[in-house]
Chains A and B, each alone.
Chain A
């Protein structure tokens, strides 16, 4: 019964653990694995296919770039935090709504 109730939680935990295990395995055994973004790897292939130097692809519309990896990760964390506020806020709102509804039933 317990297994059936929490089947999805168990599956999620197994999937995440398997994902971590695969990462630890590939990162220690694979040679030349840099874990760069697939976007960059894709851009490398574009340069190869078009026979142009990757540096020669200039932005069509000028673009601001985060000056360092730290600033980039700060802004990515900000993006995740904004999402987290929405998700947490709504789940809290729904929990409160449900609680006040059941309290109202008891008082009646």
Chain B
């Protein structure tokens, strides 16, 4: 999902930075608030953020014959909302821009929007929609994390299609072409990511159910049922 340094015209770099900055500011503010309010939320932040570090470093081969990496952002979006997740993603993406030549400082805004904002917002929206329904917790986590991953790559395609509309067919044609590269490659990775993170969530529930209840991520009744079934 990284747009490479130099591959986005500077006008678009500014547009995406302008979208990213307020989200990051909101995230930093929320992060400060939650750290002051509940010290026991910090370990949960460590686990969910840790998975973003791990999963986004794994470049996995896919059916299209190219490699791509999962994002791992869904779990953090479920537990802390999209804006705190944006801050963690910004740290990872900054590391990758500075030391790995994956992305770059000018395109960092665009990459934060795809991985740190749109993906987590979609993941969080899916979780909020399904939270108070009878849908199983693990299915909710699976859908939220897999869709956060997919939409990150759809956003990268959108960002590139906006900057590089095709001569014939314009934006639409470009979007389909970029989706063909990014989104198709991502489908199997997103499915595996969703299942793995659902399993991780099972272990969080097993070890520290009280923090999930206290932060109102799921209700006590839902957690009790989930501990019973899986």
Residues of A within 8 A of B (CB): 4-5, 7-9, 11-12, 15-16, 19, 22-23, 26-27, 30, 32-43, 45-46, 49-50, 57-61, 63-66, 72, 75-77, 79-80, 82-87, 89-91, 93-95, 97-98
Min Cβ gap B64→A in Å is 8
B135 → A minimal CB distance (Å): 15
Which chain A positions have C-beta within 8 A of B85? none
Segment touching A, from B3-11, B19-27, B124-132: B3-11
Q: In the complex, what residues of A have CB within 8 A of residue B218's CB?
A: none
> Is the CB–CB distance between B53 and A83 below 8 Å?
yes
Q: For chain B residues 13-34, which have a beta carbon within 8 Å of chain A?
A: 13
The size class of the interface chain B forms with chain A is 35 or more
Q: Does B68 contact A (CB under 8 A)?
A: yes
The answer on a CB contact under 8 Å between A94 and B230 is no
Instruction: Please tell me if the beta carbons of B67 and A26 are within 8 angstroms of each other in the complex.
Output: no
B221 on the A face (CB < 8 A): no
In chain A, what residue has the closest Cβ to B156?
A42
Please state if B43 and A90 are interface contacts (CB–CB under 8 Å).
yes
Report Cα–Cα, A40/B196, bound state, in Å.
27
Nearest B residue to A44 via CB reads B181
Chain A neighbourhood of B60, CB < 8 A: 19
Bound-complex Cα distance A17 to B199 (A): 16
Q: Which residue of B lies closest to A32 (CB)?
A: B65
From residue 38 to 60 of chain B, which have CB atoms closer than 8 A to chain A?
43-44, 46-47, 49-60
**Is the pair B54, A16 in contact by a Cβ cutoff of 8 Å?**
no
Complex alpha-carbon distance, A60 and B12, angstroms: 12
Closest 10 CB pairs of A and B: A83-B53, A33-B65, A86-B50, A83-B54, A87-B50, A60-B106, A65-B101, A59-B5, A79-B57, A80-B57
Given A60-B106, A75-B99, A80-B53, decide whether A98 and B207 contact each other with a Cβ distance below 8 A.
yes
Asked whether A60 and B164 contact (CB < 8 A) given A39-B4, A66-B100, A93-B43, the answer is no
**Smallest distance from the beta carbon of A57 to chain B beta carbons, Å?**
4
Residues A36 and B66 in contact in the complex (CB < 8 Å), given A8-B202, A59-B104, A61-B105: yes
Interface flag for B213 (CB, 8 Å): no
Q: Which of A12, A49, A98 has the most CB of B within 10 A?
A: A49
B89 at the interface (CB under 8 A from A): no
Q: Which of A16, A58, A83, A91 touches B6 (beta carbons < 8 Å)?
A: A58
- Whether the Cβ atoms of A38 and B192 lie closer than 8 Å is no
